[in-house]
Amino acid sequence: MISFILIALYIIYVIINYGIPKSISASYYSLKYKVTFSLVLLVSIILSFNQFMDVTPDNFKFLPFIFCSEILFVAAAPNFNSSDLTLKVHYVAAIISFVAS
């Protein structure tokens, strides 16, 4: 629940201060302190990982692990317009986390 509140507060903060971004990832470019985007993702995933694992049946425990690890890749490569490699890492990780979710 804390993870959800953290993400919701981040989105509200971005909308109030910078307007509605094209995506959550695009909000990175609006922020004054760019590290905020990565920190919010990292903290929210760290706080929610155990709950994801607890509610997932044993046969599917690999899915929350994949989801969380890919969100960490998204957090590690927030500046997706900087290079082709960063763009690929960010997009592929986002797509894999979406499928695993």
Q: Name the 3-class secondary structure at 79.
A: coil
Domain holding 80, by residue range, is: 2-100
Binning pLDDT at 50, 70 and 90, where does residue 83 land?
A: confident
DSSP letter at 60? G
pLDDT digits (tens, 9 = 90+) for 15-66: 999 999 998 899 999 999 999 999 999 999 999 999 999 999 999 999 999 9
Binning pLDDT at 50, 70 and 90, where does residue 79 land?
A: confident
- The CA-CA-CA angle for residues 72, 77, 82, to 5°, reads 170
Q: What is the total count of domains within the chain?
A: 1
How would DSSP label each residue in 23-34?
STGGGGGT-SST
